[in-house]
Amino acid sequence: MRFYIIILLLACLVACSSDGQKAYNKEKREKHYKVIEPERLRTMISQSRSAISIQNKKKQSHKPEKIVIVTPQRPAEPTGLNKLESLKASGIKPDASEPLNKDLLLGKGSDTLFNSAITLSPDRVLRIVFDNDIFDYTDQFYTNGIRFEYVAPAISDNPVKHILLPYWAKAKNYYGVSLVQNLYTPSTTKTGGIIYGDRPYSAYLYFGSFKITNDDLHHFRQTSELDLGVIGPPSLGGTVQDLFHKYVPYNNEPLGWEYQISTDAVINYNFSMEKGVINTRHLQLILTGSGALGTLYVNCGGGMNLRLGWFNDYFSDLGIRKKRVLKAGGSRVAQYYFTIKGAARLVAYDATLEGGMLNHNSSYTIPASSLSNIVTQTSLGFTMSLGGIGLEIEQNVLSPEFSHKWWHAWGHIGLFFAL
């Protein structure tokens, strides 16, 4: 009996201990952990998910703005049209035929004011030149010449401009046309027939188109010209000399024009370049180079031009401008100076002596073997101008052109008008 009582007490003790331990553990859990009922837990989870969703939406709606780094852009290059508009507004007229200007207009350059371009000069000039050996009391060889020149910006539309020499620096272009007739006779016109060993009768007439480029910064001038015309009777050389001799006292009728150089075409391209090496207010020394290629002349040469006196820079204009333009530019209105010129040329062909290059049926010519390979020409002159009117007088001397060994001299008068 006692044994059963002990066993029962032990069982109660264990049960009480187990319940106490559970109570202790429950108390401990409640103390350290928050005990949540299942229903409440489901409600809390649902609420938590809603809160998280709302928070995510807020985060998305308040995302930081995307930072875009913008690099500075270069201003757009001016187009050809913009450049033309800018030039028009500035009153600048570039020469559209110059490759340099095409590069500036169509390229990516920013020179919208064309500060390095080749412009067209607005100047209009008329020049009349008369050569004759009557001033030296002779009537032989190069006996008469007349040249009319007209320069104006409108002539730049001439299609010939595309074959005239281009330029590659800032400069000013002048376009012009010319009409030229030159006459040549033997040493005497009083004897009829052919005078063998003497110069043959010859004359030519041509129409020329030329361009002059002035670069005053570098003291440089470039000239190119295309001449188209005729040599022989259609040039009317004999007719002109007959009329001249008819109205000049003590002149006989010239004889022998029926034996002149036969009719042939004149197609010649001429160019020259001039560079100022000494440039002061009262003295200017200019070196020159020239060449000719065609059916009339084939030659090349060089020389110098010395100017002494009171003048405007040779490379600033064509030697004559209107009075108001000269005043506005601070240039001399009155000019007067002396010139001394000297040049030598290497001669390969001269149609006035050898006959036409295409027509070989002339009655009389000088053979190429009798031509002087080197010919020199010197001159002394005086030029004066006042405002838009100018006058030049010059005496020329030419060395023998063929084996006859005769020198020749003639006078030159030129009139210029700024229009």
HEC per residue, 143-178? EEEEEEEEECHHHHHCHHHHHCCCCCCCEEEEEEEE
Main-chain phi, psi angles of 247, to 5 degrees: -105, 0
Q: What is the pLDDT of residue 249?
A: 72
Please report, rounded to a whole number, the percentage of residues in the chain having pLDDT higher than 70: 76
The pLDDT score that the predictor gives to residue 58 is 54
Q: What is the pLDDT of residue 59?
A: 54
Q: Please state the rounded mean pLDDT for residues 68-83.
A: 54
The yes-or-no verdict on residue 367 having pLDDT over 60 is yes
Choose among 394, 398, 393: nearest CA to 408. Answer: 398
Q: Which residue has the tokens 């875009």?
A: 68
pLDDT digits (tens, 9 = 90+) for 180-224: 999 999 999 988 899 999 999 999 999 999 999 999 999 999 999
Asked if residues 176 and 155 have their Cβ atoms less than 8 Å apart, the reply is yes
Confidence of residue 283 (pLDDT cuts 50, 70, 90): very high
Confidence class for position 97, pLDDT limits 50, 70, 90: confident
Q: Copy the structure tokens of residue 93.
A: 């007229």
- Quote the pLDDT of residue 93: 82
For residue 50, the model assigns a pLDDT of: 64
Q: How confident is the model at residue 106 (pLDDT cuts 50, 70, 90)?
A: confident
Nearest one of 180, 209, 211, 335 to 273, comparing CA atoms: 211
Q: Is the pLDDT of residue 32 over 50?
A: no
- Check residue 148 and give its pLDDT: 98
Partners of 58 in beta bridges: none
User: Do 397 and 361 form a contact (C-beta atoms < 8 A)?
Assistant: no
Is the pLDDT at 342 greater than 60? The verdict is yes
Confidence of residue 33 (pLDDT cuts 50, 70, 90): very low
Q: What are phi and psi of 380, to 5 degrees?
A: -130, 130
Structure token pair of residue 188:
């005497």
Q: What percent of the chain has pLDDT over 90?
A: 66
Strand partners, 398: 377, 408
> At how many degrees (to 10) do helices 99-106 and 80-90 cross?
110
pLDDT of residue 66 exceeding 60:
no
Q: What is the mean pLDDT of residues 165-174?
A: 95
Q: Is the dihedral of CA 332, 277, 270, 365 positive or negative?
A: positive
Q: For residue 24, name the pLDDT band (cuts at 50, 70, 90).
A: very low
Using 50, 70 and 90 to split pLDDT, how confident is the model at 20? very low
Which pLDDT score is estimated for 56? 59
How high is the pLDDT of residue 256? 93
Q: In angstroms, how far is CA 267 from the centroid of its own chain?
A: 25
Average pLDDT over residues 397-406: 93
pLDDT at residue 91 tops 80: no
pLDDT band at 57 (very low <50, low <70, confident <90, very high): low
Residue found by looking up tokens 């020469």 in the block: 95
Model pLDDT, residue 37: 59
Length of the chain: 419
Domain boundaries, the chain: 77-119, 121-418
Residue 87, pLDDT above cutoff 90: no
In this structure, which CATH number among 2.40.128.140, 2.40.50.140, 1.10.357.10, 2.40.40.20 belongs to the domain 121-418? 2.40.128.140
Secondary element (H or E) of residue 334: strand 334-350
Q: Rounded to 5, what percent of the chain is helix, strand, coil?
A: 30, 40, 35
Alpha carbon distances (Å) from 106 to 74, 100, 320:
19, 10, 35
What number of helices (H) and strands (E) belong to the chain?
A: 7, 13
